[in-house]
Amino acid sequence: MKTTTRVCVIGGGVVGVSVLYHLTKLGWSDVMLVERSELTSGSTWHAAGGFHTLNGDTNMAALQGYTIRLYKELEEITGMSCGLHHVGGITLADNRDRFDMLLAERAKHRYMGLDTQIVGPEEIAKIAPITNLEGILGALYDPLDGHLDPSGTTHAYAKAARMGGATIETHVMVQETTQRPDGTWNVVTDKGTIHAEHVVNAGGLWAREVGAMAGVYLPLHPMEHQYIVTDEIAEIYERDSEHPHVMDPAGESYLRQEGRGLCIGFYEQPCRPWAVNGTPWTFGHELLPDDFDKIEDSIAFAYKRFPVLERAGVKSVIHGPFTFAPDGNPLVGPVPGLRNYWSACGVMAGFSQGGGVGLMLAQWMIEGECERDVSAMDVARFGDWISPGYTLPKVIENYQKRFSVSYPNEELPAARPNRTTMMYDIFDDMGAVWGAQFGLEVVNYFAEGDEARYETPSFRRSNAWEATAREVKAVREAVGINEVQNFGKYEVTGPNAREWLDRVMAGRVPKPGRLSLTPMLSHKGRLIGDFTISCLSDTHFQLTASYGAQAYHMRWFEQNATEGVTVRNVSDQLTGFQIAGPNARKVLEAVTRDATDLKFMDVRPMTVGMTPCLVQRVSYTAGLGYEIYCEPVAQRQLWHTLWTAGQEFGMRPFGMRAMMSLRLDKFFGSWLSEFSPDYTPGETGLDRFIAWSKNADFIGRVAAEAERANPPDRVLCAFEVAVNDADVNAYEPIWIDGAVQGFCTSGGYSHHAGKSIALALIPRSYAQDGQKAQIEILGEMCDATLITTPLYDADGAQMRG
């Protein structure tokens, strides 16, 4: 066995061998994989082997498409069969919401280049004739859906990796992973120690245990999953062609042909977690005992949807565990806080996602970043606050909702409330309807009177409409108050702090007492952050960004650390409020002495009432606004000071639903909507904040300068949209001159202007005021007009005055 290697991949399931193959594909041959048993041991060998492209996240869907296309390439490279069956598949909709979801997905697929179709009952009867169509409105048909041989595919990956120079060692048990002072790793096994530059945890069912060897908690949990293979069914084996896949969300089931019968699996509500206290190292090729009681209701529903099942005998039952993360997406990438330690875990849909996961991790490791935004599966999307006690109920919830409708405004209840601020009970008593961001309870809006304390999940306008309109009106006409806990906040100190910020941030680093806005770029010039820099002194700065990106940003700061600079995450050590609206200055003047001369983009320590605060004049709502920061222990006192003074000036609390409406008035972008690693400064307009003249070789400068010299083909624009009861959410296609020319990044309703607004990326050649277009929203073509004048404070007089 080799004792030194550039990369050691731990785990020989489909994900581990995919990572290994892609490392060789991108040019690294000194790589190896160790597996404690045989390849496919764990959850790979008993997988149903289905694959599909449908995924609510467009980047995940694209990676699933890549995975599916990869299988033919593997067969050509290796001469081995993956057992491919490209039979196509349909996803059924038996109610309006499910059909809306399929319409939304089909719209996304238009600009992604996926050839899916919406089909009606008559077409479903031809595609999948064993389906009982009672109550079915329609379905989404995807010709790429299919299934494969899990073992054959895994071994094809392995052979392709070996052909690229990789080494695979089976029956090698990892016992320890220990990091050396130089950042490399000792992987201690029962066959000797391997010295590796990089370690990849692809441990699957054992990923938690492998992670613990490095002192890492990975938020994963195995769930029991059961599927059934039937005896021969005449309606199946007498067909001229193989029966396609059928996903029936109402029945929480998936179905496909297996030989001369059918295979049907269930995501049942009375589901069971497995190995709560840890996966036994002795587990491998075993199955769990059959448990028909658990799926009794699912089987009864399936008999109604597919009557042929009731007449078929059971040939075999496959009941085994596989792992989920709290949101159902994989955990991939460099683990925050560790050098050269990578995660490739929680890939629940291994044969749909494994190829894409392997490609992204290999690009990340070799090239320093991925070709697309992988935030949805980045291991850094969870912070160090996450615990097994949180993970377990969220994993159960995700399993139960595997085939449920995924709404853009839905707030899932499991493991909540978890993290709260000092204001939780006060806001709750005021009628707060809560959302969650990065584990933190955040107010979405405030219900009044007999209004429900629950927002109805919907693709259309919800019951939050009236409350959001009230809160927007208060901010535009008087003054609103909103908590600022849900901002990511970082303290940067030290003699080299300014120099470091000039290198890490593309924008201008302000002088003491001032703010600046800046993008943070990757080495390839992609957007990886959207920051406010507050200069408190030449050696003391505060950064503000997205709350949910804390672990991601801290990982980047640590990767680019330098002497003479300390970066500290103070997101939960600083809290407070923003006040916004034409009366905001009057409120602040009533509670502090020196607010009058605070200019736009100023920052200053102030005493507000009795509370020492940091006050900065900036607002995401457009117009006049202030952010007021304090320690958490002083937050309630600060609230009472501001709230009491604010009553004279019409103060109302407002939540995130109003915030998202207000920002549309100024066409302000949002992190992971308009601003993400998928986009560049020139595409999104953030290039106007780049300090081109500064004497600093900031990260991404070469790429940004190249884009400046050759402007990108697409740009971010705003559209006014003629809609009925559904506004733009994201990824709806933009039609111009009869063809799809772009897509929406986000949108919603401007309650101030009384208009539906969409932000979208379109070709630069069409980006002219008054340009006509159509936006496909839930299957309807809605007229849209490009607008360039902001809907509120167009000249900035309120904001700067």
Q: Look at residue 776 and tell me whether its pLDDT is greater than 80.
A: yes
In this prediction, residue 277 has a pLDDT band, given cuts at 50, 70 and 90, of very high
Q: How much is the pLDDT for 111?
A: 83
How far is it, in rounded angstroms, from Cα 560 to Cα 503? Answer: 9
Residue 456, SS3?
A: coil
Strand locations in 511-654 (E): 515-521, 527-537, 540-546, 566-569, 575-580, 603-608, 611-616, 625-630, 651-653
How far is it, in rounded angstroms, from Cα 496 to Cα 504? Answer: 12
pLDDT in tens, 422-471: 999 999 999 999 999 999 999 999 999 999 999 999 999 999 999 999 99
352 CB-side CA count, 13 A: 21
Q: Look at residue 270 and tell me whether its pLDDT is greater than 90.
A: yes
pLDDT in tens, 173-212: 999 999 999 999 999 999 999 999 999 999 999 999 999 9
Q: How much is the pLDDT for 59?
A: 87
Residues 6+ apart with CB under 8 A from 414: 393, 394, 396, 397
Q: What's the start-to-end Cα distance of the chain, in Å? A: 71
Q: Which residue matches tokens 């979405």?
A: 444
How far is it, in rounded angstroms, from Cα 401 to Cα 547? Answer: 26
How far is it, in rounded angstroms, from Cα 346 to Cα 530? Answer: 29
DSSP annotation of 455 reads: P
- The H or E element containing residue 228 is strand 221-230
Q: Map 305-356 to HEC letters.
A: HCHHHHHCCEEEEEEEEEEECCCCCCEEEECCCCCCEEEEECCCCHHHHHHH
Residue 253, SS3?
A: strand
Q: How much is the pLDDT for 44?
A: 86
Q: What is the DSSP string of 479-494?
A: EEEEE-TTEEEEEEES
Mean pLDDT of 704-718: 98
Percent of the chain at pLDDT > 70 equals 100
In this prediction, residue 160 has a pLDDT band, given cuts at 50, 70 and 90, of very high
Neighbours of 540 (CB within 10 A): 15
Which amino acid belongs to residue 679? Answer: Y
Residue 445, SS3?
A: strand
Q: How much is the pLDDT for 113?
A: 80
- Whether the CB-CB separation of 254 and 47 falls below 8 Å is answered with no
Nearest to 744 by CA among 674, 647, 655: 674
Q: How much is the pLDDT for 628?
A: 98
Q: Look at residue 115 and tell me whether its pLDDT is greater than 90.
A: no
**Measured CA angle at 676 (ends 706, 694), to 5 deg:** 45
Nearest to 719 by CA among 685, 681, 761, 680: 761
In this prediction, residue 302 has a pLDDT band, given cuts at 50, 70 and 90, of very high
Q: What is the DSSP string of 180-194?
A: -TTS-EEEEETTEEE
Q: How much is the pLDDT for 801?
A: 83
pLDDT in tens, 570-609: 999 999 999 999 999 999 999 998 777 899 999 999 999 9
pTM: 0.95
Q: Look at residue 53 and tell me whether its pLDDT is greater than 90.
A: no
Which amino acid belongs to residue 357? Answer: V
Q: What is the DSSP string of 516-535?
A: EEEEEE-TTS-EEEEEEEEE
496 φ, ψ to 5°? Answer: -105, 20
Nearest to 107 by CA among 775, 748, 718, 760: 775
Nearest to 89 by CA among 127, 120, 48: 127
How far is it, in rounded angstroms, from Cα 60 to Cα 492? Answer: 34
Q: How much is the pLDDT for 483?
A: 97
Lowest mean pLDDT among 23-37, 107-121, 229-243, 725-739: 107-121
- The H or E element containing residue 51 is strand 50-51
Q: How much is the pLDDT for 47?
A: 86
pLDDT in tens, 518-532: 999 999 999 999 999
